[in-house]
């Protein structure tokens, strides 16, 4: 399929109701409002296509950008390309899912994740924390720097309450991921979450509690899933 063919398909699949929902959840124009299930149907036809993924992404259309992440050949992505991707990832679904998925699957996940969490731009810092969360979910513990993960938990404890909205959200996700996927740090993640206490994020113009990290981790404990890694992040 060509870029033109795909963009024509996406336009025809757009749904105004879906678009309104996506806009309320931090997705930015331009977009058609395509259901993820339709994007996955297109993904199945294409599978992986490094060149097409980049073409789709740089249309800056949020539906096309999400599809780009699904078909990207992560291992082929250069550091410069990933930096370019994150620089325009202003929609929440792109900064917190698409870019982290592709970056975690690349050769530069830890390097860029650590770099991005220091960014002044909220969406880039959020992408950094989401990338690091993805890495602890898919990488074997033997390939993880547990001293670094402990340092990151300590950093979150000190800074989460003064961090921007989406950064708080993805920091909380990192606590959940670390506690759920890294056996040796499960209790430390729980203790960190307990010390942090309640934190709130802004959703749809109203303040709401973030997901309860302790409850999420304990649910994984009860199900016997602690330390069971994901085969893939993309969904």
Q: Which residue has the higher pLDDT, 207 or 192?
A: 192
Over residues 71-99, the mean pLDDT reads: 98
Over residues 119-131, the mean pLDDT reads: 98
**Burial (CB count <10 Å: 0-12, 13-18, 19+), residue 120:** exposed
Q: Which residue has the higher pLDDT, 102 or 210?
A: 102
Side-chain-facing half-sphere of 176: CA atoms under 13 Å: 17
> What SS3 state is found at 208?
strand
Quick: pLDDT tens for 5-25.
999 999 999 999 999 999 999
What is residue 204's predicted lDDT score, i.e. its pLDDT?
52
Give the tokens for residue 104: 């975690």
Pairwise CA distance, residues 218 & 213, whole Å: 9
Over residues 118-129, the mean pLDDT reads: 98
Extents of the domains making up the chain: 1-72, 95-235
What is residue 208's predicted lDDT score, i.e. its pLDDT?
61
What is residue 210's predicted lDDT score, i.e. its pLDDT?
81
């Amino acid at each position: 399929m060509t870029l033109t063919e795909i963009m024509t398909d996406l336009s025809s699949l757009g749904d105004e109701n879906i678009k309104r929902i996506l806009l309320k959840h931090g997705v930015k124009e331009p977009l058609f409002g395509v259901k993820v299930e339709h994007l996955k149907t297109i993904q199945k036809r294409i599978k992986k296509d490094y060149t097409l993924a980049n073409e789709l992404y740089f249309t800056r259309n949020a539906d096309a950008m999400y599809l780009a992440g699904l078909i990207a050949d992560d291992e082929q992505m250069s550091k410069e390309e990933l930096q370019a991707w994150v620089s325009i990832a202003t929609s929440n679904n792109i900064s917190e899912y698409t870019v982290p998925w592709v970056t975690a699957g690349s050769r530069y996940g830890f390097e860029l994740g650590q770099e991005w969490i220091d960014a002044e731009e909220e969406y880039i810092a959020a992408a950094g924390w989401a990338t690091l969360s993805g890495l602890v979910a898919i990488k074997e513990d033997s390939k993880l720097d547990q001293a670094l993960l402990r340092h990151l938990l300590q950093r979150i404890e000190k800074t989460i309450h003064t961090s921007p909205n989406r950064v708080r959200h993805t920091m909380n996700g990192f606590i959940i991921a670390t506690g759920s996927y890294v056996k040796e740090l499960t209790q430390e993640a729980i203790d960190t979450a307990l010390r942090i206490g309640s934190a709130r994020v802004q959703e749809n113009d109203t303040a709401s509690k973030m997901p309860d990290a302790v409850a999420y981790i304990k649910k994984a404990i009860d199900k016997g899933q602690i330390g069971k890694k994901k085969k893939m992040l993309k969904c």
